[in-house]
Structure 1
Amino acid sequence: MKHYDYIFTGGGLSALMTVYRMAVSGKFSAKSVLIIEADAQKSNDRTWSFWEPNGGELDAVVTRKWDAALFADSDFRKALDLSPYRYKTIRSHDFYDLVDKVISAQSNIERIHEKVVDFYEAGNHGVVKTESRSFTCNKVLNSIYSPDWAAAQDKYPVLQQHFIGWFVKTSALVFNPNQVTFMDFSVAQQGNTRFMYVLPFSETEALVEYTLFSKDLLPENAYETAIEAYLKNLGTTDFVITEKERGSIPMTCYKFWKRNSKHILNMGSAGGWTKASTGYTFKNTMKKSAALVKFLETHTDMRQFHHTNRFWFYDLLLLDILDRHNGRGHEIFSSMFRRANPVTILKFLDEETSLSEDLHIIWNCPKKLFINALFKRLVR
C-alpha cells in the first residue's frame, strides 16, 4: 500500500480550498498529498456567495460584486447598505480552474478519481480504501458527508437548507442589477421558513432561487412553480432558463468533530463547518480551511483542532425554534433586519461580533421564542 502524509477523502469545497491553501503557503512542499474524489470537479455545478470587504484573496475568480441588498417580508421591504462589505459571487467552475492550476503545478500533490468505501485509524496511521485498492497515511482529512451520523441521534435537530435556482433571461427589465435580494419572505410560508433569493447580473439576467429551511425536501415542481410565480409577480412571464442548480445543505449543531481521532479529521459539512443556523458554507470554509492549514503546520493530534464558541449555542437555540415552529423563521430574521444595523448582522453571521453586539441583535428577536428555547435546552 502506498503511503502519504495526508489523504483527503472527498474533493469538494472544503478539501480543495484546504489543499489550495497548503500549496500556496509553500510550507507543505515536502509532504505527500493525495486527493481521492469520486468524480472530476469540472462542471459549473453550483454558485457560492459571501460577503467581505473588497480586495479579498479570491477576487480573481469572483463573478460579480454588489454594494447593496434587499430584505423583504410580507409587510415591509428594506434596502441594505452593505458598506464596508461587498456581496460577492463565485461560479464553481472558476474556483475549480483556479485550484486545478495551483495543484497541477505541485509535484507532491496527486488526485485520483475513485470511490472511497472506508477509512479508519490503525495504530499510528490512517487507512483509506477505495473500491479497487488501499492506501495508508499519517492523516486522513475526510469531507464525505454521512447523513446517518446526525440522523442517528435526537439531541440536536437536523434541518436542511434546500433550494432550486434558475438562471433566467427575461424580455422585460425586471431586476435591479445593483441590489441583491438577500431574503424575500413575502412568498407564502406554508408552515415552513421559505424565501426567494435573487442575484441580478443585469436588468434582464439573474439567478432566482427558492430556498427553504426545513426538515423535508419538496417535489421538484414545487420549487419551480414558486420561482415561476415569483417572476410573474416581478412583472415577467416571458423568460428563458439558461441553467438550473439545486442543493441541500445540512443545518445542525450535531458535534461532528466528536468523531475526529488523533489521525482522522472530519471537515466541511462532515466536520460541522457549515453555519448551522443558515446553511452558509463558503465563508465558513474559507475561515476554517485557513485555520486548519495553520494548525497542520505545528499540530499532530486532529482532536485538538475544533473549538466550540458561543455562536454554536446561538445557532442551536435558533435550530430548536425552527425545529418546533418552522413557520416562524421569517419572524426571527425580519425582526433582526427591521431593527438592527445590517452590517452588524453580517458580522454576527460571520461570528465576529462582540458580546454586547450579540445581545443587541438577539434582543431584537422574538423574546418569548428564544426564552422558551433556552429553558427547554437547559433542562433537556
Structure 2
Amino acid sequence: MQHYHYIFTGSGLSALMTVNEMLLSGKFEDKSILLIDENAKKVNDRTWCFWDEHNLFDGIVSKKWNQAIFANEKFNRVLELTPYQYKKINGLDFYKLVFKKISEHKNIHFLNQKVVDFSELGDHCIVKTVSETFTCNKIFNSIYNPEVVTTQTKFPLIHQHFIGWYIKSKEAVFTPNCATFMDFSVEQKGNTRFMYILPTSSTEALLEYTLFSKNLLFKEEYEAEIQKYITNLGITEYEIIEKEQGNIPMTCYPFWKHNTKNIINIGSAGGWTKASTGYTFKNASKKSKALVQFLKSESDFTKFHKKDKFWFYDLLLLDILGSKNELGSTIFSSMFKEGNSSVIFKFLDEETSFLEDLRVIWRCPKMLFVKALLGRIL
C-alpha cells in the first residue's frame, strides 16, 4: 500500500490552486503529493470570472473588461470598475498551466480514478479508489457531498444555476470592453433571475441565463429565455459556438466543522465559494494561500477556519433569498443603482473596513435585513 504525505481527493480549482501555492512556496519539495480525480482535466469544461486590481494569473486571462453594466426593468447603469478589471479565465488554460508545473516536480503525481472512500485512522488517513488503496498523512478533500447541506434546515441552500451560450451574431450589438454583470430586466417569475453577458467582440459573446433559487429548471426553460433575450437585442441571425451549464451551491453551512486533525474540506466541499454571489476563483486563491501559509506552522486542520463578519452578512442575505426569493433584484439593485462600484466590489471581495461595509449595507432595504437579523437572534 503506497504512502504519500498529502493526498488530494478531487483536483478541481481549489485543489490545483493549493498545489500551485505549495509549488510557489518552495517549502514542500520533500513531500510526496498525490491528486486523484476521475476527470482528467483535458477539456474546457468551465470558465471563471473575477474582478481584480493586481495580476492574478494574468498570463492565462483570456479577456478583460474595464466596464460592466448593471440593469433592471427600470434603470441601466454602466459601472466604471477602476481600480478593478473584470477578468475571464478558461478552465482548460488553468488546468494546463498547473499540470505543466506539476509535471516538472517528481514528488507530485496525478491518478485518473474515482475516489470511493476516505477516512482518518489515528495518526494517518486512508483513501480508496475503485481499484487501489493509499495511505497518507493528510487529506485535502474537494469532493462535494450535497447531503451534508440538504439534510439540515438551519442554513439555507440557494443554487446559482445557469446555462450559457457562446454565440456569434450577424449584427454587431455587443460592446467588447463592457460586460453585463447582472441584467434583472428579464422576467423574475418569483425568483432571482438575470442575464450575464461576456462580450469578446462586437459580434461574439457568452450569454448566461442565471438564477439564485432553491429549485433548478428544465434545460428548455433556460434556453427559451436565452433565445428571447437574443431576439430582444435585435439579433436576427447567429450561430452557437459553445454551450456551458453549471450549478454552484450558495450556503453559509459551516463545512469546517467536518474538518478533522488530518482531513480538511476545500473548495465547495469546504465552503470556499462566496456564499452571497457564488463567485469561486478569487476566494479559492485567497483560501489556498492562507492554507499553505497555515501548513508551514500548523498541523491540526481543525484550527484553520475562522468565522468573520462577511460570513454573517452572507447568511442574512441567504436567509432573505431563502424565504423571499423574488427580492433578489430589489436587493442587488439598491446596492448598484447609485453606490460606489469600486467599494461594492471591494465589499464583495471581503476586503472592506466596517465603515465601508456600512456604505454598502446602508443602501440595501433595511427592514429586510433587520427582520433577518432578528430571525437569527431569536
State the TM-score bracket (shorter-chain normalisation): over 0.9
* Partner residue, 1:41: 41
Distance 1:287 1:195 in 2: 27
- Is 1:313 aligned to 2:309, yes or no? no
Q: Which is further off, 74-83 or 23-32?
A: 23-32
Report the secondary structure of 1:5's partner residue: strand
* Partner residue, 1:236: 235
Q: What are structure 2's unaligned runs of at least 5 residues?
A: none
Task: Give CA deviations for 1:110-150 in whole Å, capped at 9, x if unaligned.
Answer: 00011111111100011111111211111000000000001
State the percentage of identical aligned residues: 59
Distance 1:337 1:31 in 2: 47
Post-superposition shift, 1:289? 0.8
Post-superposition shift, 1:57? 3.5
Q: How does 1:222-233 map to 2 (within 5 A)?
A: 222-233=221-232
* Partner residue, 1:215: 214
Q: How does 1:149-160 map to 2 (within 5 A)?
A: 149-160=148-159
Q: How does 1:1-380 map to 2 (within 5 A)?
A: 1-54=1-54, 56-379=55-378
Runs of 4+ in 1 over 3 A off after TM superposition: none
Report the secondary structure of 1:276's partner residue: coil
Task: Give CA deviations for 1:306-359 in whole Å, capped at 9, x if unaligned.
Answer: 111000000000000000100110000000001310000000000000101111
The RMSD of aligned alpha carbons is 0.7
Post-superposition shift, 1:27? 1.1
- What letter matches 1:112 in structure 2? L
Distance 1:336 1:262 in 2: 41
Distance 1:255 1:275 in 2: 13
Report the secondary structure of 2:48's partner residue: strand
Report the secondary structure of 1:315's partner residue: helix
Report the secondary structure of 2:209's partner residue: strand
- What letter matches 2:30 in structure 1? A
Distance 1:177 1:32 in 2: 45
Distance 2:177 2:112 in 1: 41
Distance 1:316 1:197 in 2: 24
Distance 1:277 1:178 in 2: 26
- What letter matches 2:303 in structure 1? Q
- What letter matches 2:39 in structure 1? D
- What letter matches 2:6 in structure 1? Y
Post-superposition shift, 1:24? 2.3
Post-superposition shift, 1:293? 1.1
- What letter matches 1:163 in structure 2? F
Distance 2:265 2:187 in 1: 38
Post-superposition shift, 1:192? 0.3
Post-superposition shift, 1:367? 1.0
Post-superposition shift, 1:234? 0.7
Q: What are structure 1's unaligned runs of at least 5 residues?
A: none
Distance 1:39 1:69 in 2: 34
Distance 2:298 2:169 in 1: 53
Aligned residue pair count: 378
Post-superposition shift, 1:203? 0.3
- What letter matches 2:71 in structure 1? A
Distance 1:371 1:83 in 2: 32
Report the secondary structure of 2:316's partner residue: helix
Distance 2:252 2:102 in 1: 33
Post-superposition shift, 1:152? 1.1
- What letter matches 1:17 in structure 2? M
Distance 1:300 1:310 in 2: 26
Distance 2:38 2:310 in 1: 34
Q: Which is further off, 138-147 or 367-376?
A: 367-376
Post-superposition shift, 1:363? 1.0
Post-superposition shift, 1:190? 0.2
Report the secondary structure of 1:298's partner residue: coil
Distance 1:343 1:95 in 2: 27
Distance 2:71 2:153 in 1: 33
Report the secondary structure of 1:316's partner residue: helix
- What letter matches 1:174 in structure 2? V
- What letter matches 1:279 in structure 2? G
- What letter matches 2:338 in structure 1? R
Report the secondary structure of 1:322's partner residue: helix
Distance 1:198 1:84 in 2: 21
Distance 2:219 2:56 in 1: 36
Post-superposition shift, 1:223? 0.5
Task: Give CA deviations for 1:17-70 in whole Å, capped at 9, x if unaligned.
Answer: 11111112211100000000012001011110001114x130000001111110
